[in-house]
Structure formats: C-alpha cells, structure tokens
Structure 1
C-alpha cells in the first residue's frame, strides 16, 4: 500500500492506473476506523482493480464549537487496517494541502442540506460536498462507496454527482451495527458506560416506528410521537436534535407515510451526537 500526502502525487498515480486500464474504487473517510469502515473498504475492494482510501478530518465540515480538535484519531492503526483491507493507496493530506489560505470555492446542494443534520450544522454539507468533489477529481474514481448511516450525506453526494455530471458511480452500504443495534460511529468513544448502555434505545425506537408503519400507521406525527415517548422513557439523558420523516431521495418532510419514507434522527447523549435512520417504507 502506498501512502500519499500530496494531492498531485495521488492524482498522478491514479492517472497511471487508468492509463494501464485499471479502474479505481474510492472510500472517503475521516479515520478512526471501526467495522463499518472495514465493510466499506471490503465492498469497494470487490468493485474495482484499485482501491483508494482517503483519511482526512475535513475542517470545512466542522462548525464553530464542534469537535474538530477532539475528533478521535489514530493514523497508525488506521493505516494498518486500510492495508489489511486491500487498499492500494491511502491518502492522508494535511488541511493546507487541500485548502489554500485564500480558498474561496465551495460546492453545495442547499435544497437537500437545509433540513435534518443541515438544520443545526449549516456549513457541514458544503464542506462535505467540496472535499468529496476534490477527491473525485484527484482520483478520477470510477466508483465510490459510502455508508447509509449518513443517509443525508449520500443523498446529497448523489445529487451533486448527477447535477455536475460527475461520472463516479455512488454505492451505498447498509449501516454496520453493534450486536445490540447501536450504529457504529467513531464518536461512540465519547459515550460513558452508562450512556453506552442506553444508546441502543435510539435504534429500538426507530424499529418500533417501522413496526407501527408496517401495521398500517400512516400519520407521520403519530409515528414521531411514538419514538419520542420511547426515548423519554428509556433513553435517560438523551436530547433529540431532530426526528423527521422524509422522502428518501428528495429529503422533503412527509406528513403521511403512504409511499417511500425514511425516519431519520440525531440524538445528543452526553458528549456524543449520534445519528441513525430507518426506512419505514421503501
């Protein structure tokens, strides 16, 4: 596995691979790998001749008072994991290599970024789109793999790629979970033992809402009330940031669940902000 810190050196290697007739899969990450990241890499490994993994804690997607400085990092461990999962290249740039001091160009999909996580993190998806497009341009990736835990993110990236005629194919992988249902996240390390013990109730409430929808409940307000009541009873200390039911592609809020519908949430639990989602109807 080659390790690159210079964007142009990575781009040169990717051009050489393409010139040799080798296609490229990309897995963009912020590091501190868990089994979910490993699943993305393993799946991507089977999609192309070459696998590029990026490891970059992107400052442009963190707002004021967010956890940019404290975000967990372990580059040596992550490098070993990426190599074990078959990465041909690991891209680990410094922020200055990706953003010039007078950087002034941004990519955004405001209609899809206005709600859900975007409501409380207004610059987040602008930073995500900008860095992901940079990675697409540097690697010329034929396919890129993202996790469905960040449903809004992958929906926005799909729209960006469509609208800008980016030829990279976007593939989404199901959320990887702990045995008790908690969605795996690098930020789970922020949880205290007591918080970790109740955190699976985030998922349990979403499953209850899906069961209710399958049983015939179509009123979005009642489905959300069911989840909030579950959390109030079984998730001590949990502070919902948002709980919404939206169309899976447009991310527009739904009042009635009579077609494709996604329930998505973010919950603050101690120092952690945990996101999850579930398809009520597909």
Structure 2
C-alpha cells in the first residue's frame, strides 16, 4: 500500500518555509550568542553567510540611455526622410500636372490646326465656287463692234442673233463660264464654232474661229481656251461671233450683253 502525504495543518512545511525558519532561528541564536557558544565555528559562519545573502539587495537591471545628441540625430534623420517624401510626392504631382497641361495644350493645338485646315478648305471651296461661277469676256479686253438684233442682209434671219467682239486673227478665245462642250467643229455659216452647255443650263456659241481647241464632252472652266479667232464661215473679216441661248437650237438666242452683265461681266 502506498503512503500519501498528509494535507491540511498536519502537512510538513515546504522547503522555502523550512529555510526561512532556519534562517530566523539562526538569527535569533546569533543575536543571543547561542551560536557562538553551542555551535561550531563552521556552522556559525555558514549561517551568517546565508543570512547575508538573503538580506542582500537584488542586482540592478541595466537600462539603455540615449543622450540628447543621438536623439537629435534620429529626429533630424526622420525630418529629412519626411521632407524627402514630401518633395517626391510634390515632384510626382507636378509631373502629373505638367503632363496633363502638355496633353491639354496638344489637344488645343490640334483643335486649332483642325479649325485652320477646315477654314482653309472652306475658303478654297468658296474660291472654287466663285471661280466656277465667275464669268468673263470671251476675248480679253475686247469690245462689241456689232450689237444684238442689228438688221441687215448679212444674216439669213434678217437680224444679228448675237454680238461681234473685236479680235484679230489668232487671238485666244475663252469660255465665258464653266460648262461642257456639246459641239466643236464646222458649223456652216458660223464656220469653225464651239457650243458650250453652261452649268446654269444656258448655252453659249463662239463662231468664225480659225481653229478649235476643245472636244465634245470636255469640261471647261471660266477662261479655258477653246480656240483662236478667225474669219471662217459667213464672215467679212476676223472677229468673234458670240451668242447666248436658252437651248442648243438655233433661234433660242437671248441678248448676249445682258446675259454677260447678269453674271457680273462688264461689257
């Protein structure tokens, strides 16, 4: 049968309790002189050493002390790091702002360039329309020598169906406006002639030419050379016979001078 340790008030004192009691006893005996008289010198010495050890203060704990100069250096380093971080953030923000400003400037420049190109294109179109819609004299710097509806035996109808412009032989004859050539070649009493259907739906005729310089179906612009003046067909001398018509057929003539003036030509 196993033995068990007693509990409660009958339990034997622990090691620390026994030691403390021993020390207390030794102290009492030492104080009363009993140790010195009854115990051996070795026992007395051991008891004294134990008492001194128990009464001695605990060893001090070492602490790390940072002097002011080191703390200042640490603070300065921290401040420098914060400043560097702030500068880096500011530089990054400024770089982004500069990039945005550059992109915006580029966009505006491209928009201005586009507007300029569009304005130039519009101006070019307007100029081209004006050029195509502009009319001029069939012989530059010339004047009318025989007027419209002038009577006489020279014309089979009894009157002049057009006007005659002064022109020496070989003078350049041009289209008065934009249109398409519908007749080019011999025209009987008109001699060598050219008929043009104008873009406004009217027709113009150029007669008595020495030579023809265009072909049927060819498009012409104001000022396009169509031939050279002469005296072919029913003619009494070099000049240009010019007619304006509402159709390509003979007998649909209108006043050539009024026609040119209605298109801004000074005659």
Given the two structures, how large is their TM-score scaled by the length of structure 1?
0.17
Larger Rg: 2
TM-score by length of 2: 0.17
